[in-house]
Amino acid sequence: MNLVEEAFSRLFSGVEFSFEPAVSYSGKFKPYNATVRKIGSNLYFSLSRSWKGTSDEIVIGLIQHLLIKILRKEKFVKGRSKMASLNMQLYDDFIKGVSEVTVSNGIGDEALESSFRRVNEKYFLGFVDRPQLQWGSESFRKLASYDYHTNMITVSSLFLEAPERILDYLMYHEMLHKKLKFSSSNGRIRHHGSEFRRLEGQFDGSGAIEADLNSFIRSRRRARPQRIRRFSWRRLLMFQ
Ligand SMILES: [Zn+2]
């Protein structure tokens, strides 16, 4: 039995496995990323090369997360109110562990560095270990993100000259991701749970900051109108 079939049967016991699975490893992914595609009854799993050599039990957990995602419309998945497995728990713990041990290289940009220090002191009593910090592309869509796999916070270069307060707000949001990790229920991974939203609201002047962020983005858009398509503001603010 291959890994996919094993993952499937542990998750959906009693359901016949009627898919053609294929697993490949790729060096193009970031560490510990993975994707799945479904074409007809074929399931194509593509895993970052860093998964090679990881315990099968953990990889099974990864595949189970992907199975739930890709098969969510299948009858035998829809009806289930609870989907969890020991393997998925192992996977979750493994990924959380990766973000702890990925060591920061210590070289960073001064603006990001100071923002991290300010926010760490003010909101986390200095207890958050410094992740890797980098400026990303000048994206209006993805304003900032935290990557658990590489323990890296990326901020869109849009904010290179943003007021400290706005940069700190984005930094705070991403540091909350690092601190809270994610919760997993019913096979779905939640990044912005109720605890996350509660803590997010504790940012100083959190009521006004969204409006400040909006108007900053708007001013940046006006500065280069010819290249930017129109997005709805709601969409813009969906930063991860
Ligand atoms: Zn987020």
Residue by residue, DSSP assigns 134-196 as EEE---SS--EEEETTTTEEEEEGGGTT--HHHHHHHHHHHHHHHHH--EEETTEEESS-HHH
Q: How far is the CA of 70 from the centre of ligand 1 (A)?
A: 23
Higher-confidence residue of 226 and 56: namely: 56
Residue 162 has pLDDT above 60, yes or no: yes
Distance linking the first and last C-alpha atoms of the chain: 37
Q: What long-range pairs does 209-217 form, CB within 8 A, spacing at least 24?
A: 209/165, 209/166, 209/169, 210/237, 212/163, 212/165, 212/166, 213/166, 213/169, 213/170, 213/237, 216/159, 216/162, 216/163, 216/166, 217/140, 217/143, 217/158
Q: Is the pLDDT of residue 238 over 60?
A: no
Question: From the CA of 110, how far away is ligand 1's center (Å)?
Answer: 23
pLDDT tier for residue 19 given thresholds of 50, 70 and 90: very high
What is the model's pLDDT at position 189?
A: 74
Distance CA 82, CA 70 (A): 16
pLDDT digits (tens, 9 = 90+) for 42-55: 999 999 988 888 88
- What confidence score (pLDDT) does residue 233 get? 40
For residue range 81-106, list pLDDT tens digits in order. 677 788 888 898 888 877 666 555 55
Distance 57 CA to ligand 1 centre (A): 29
Rg (the chain; Cα; Å): 20
How far is ligand 1, taken at its centre, from the CA of residue 156, in Å? 14
Ligand 1 centroid, distance to 219 Cα (angstroms) = 23
Confidence of residue 108 (pLDDT cuts 50, 70, 90): low
Does residue 187 carry a pLDDT above 80? no
Q: How far is the CA of 64 from the centre of ligand 1 (A)?
A: 23
pLDDT at 30: 80
What is the SS3 assignment for 17?
A: coil
Task: Determine the Cα–Cα distance for residues 152 and 174; give it in Å rounded to an integer.
Answer: 9
Q: Does the pTM of the predicted model rise above 0.85?
A: no
Identify the band that residue 164 occupies on the pLDDT scale cut at 50, 70 and 90. very high
Task: Look at 236 and 127; give whichever has higher pLDDT.
Answer: 127
Q: Are strands 183-185 and 188-190 parallel, antiparallel or unpaired?
A: antiparallel
pLDDT of residue 102: 59
Query: What is the pLDDT averaged over residues 12-32?
Result: 89
Report how many helices (DSSP H) and strands (DSSP E) the chain contains, helices first. 9, 8
Stretch (H or E) spanning 80: none
84 and 70 Cβ atoms separated by less than 8 Å: no
Ligand 1 center–CA 191 separation, angstroms: 6
CATH of domain 110-236: 3.30.2010.10
The whole-number average pLDDT for the span 134-138 is 88
Give distance in angstroms: CA of 92 to centre of ligand 1: 18
Q: Looking at the domain that runs over 3-101, which CATH code has it been given? A: 3.30.2010
- Given a contact cutoff of 8 angstroms between Cβ atoms, the answer to whether 105 and 132 are in contact is yes
Which whole number is the average pLDDT over 22-26? Answer: 92
Has residue 182 got a pLDDT over 80?
A: no
- Fold equal for 3-101 and 110-236: yes
How far does the centroid of ligand 1 lie from the alpha carbon of residue 177, in Å? Answer: 6
Q: What is the mean pLDDT of the chain?
A: 84
* Cross-strand partners of 26: 48
CA 200 to ligand 1 centroid distance, Å:
10
Domain extent listing, the chain:
3-101, 110-236
Q: How far is the CA of 3 from the centre of ligand 1 (A)?
A: 32
Ligand 1 centre distance from Cα of residue 117 (Å): 19
Quote the pLDDT of residue 38. Answer: 94
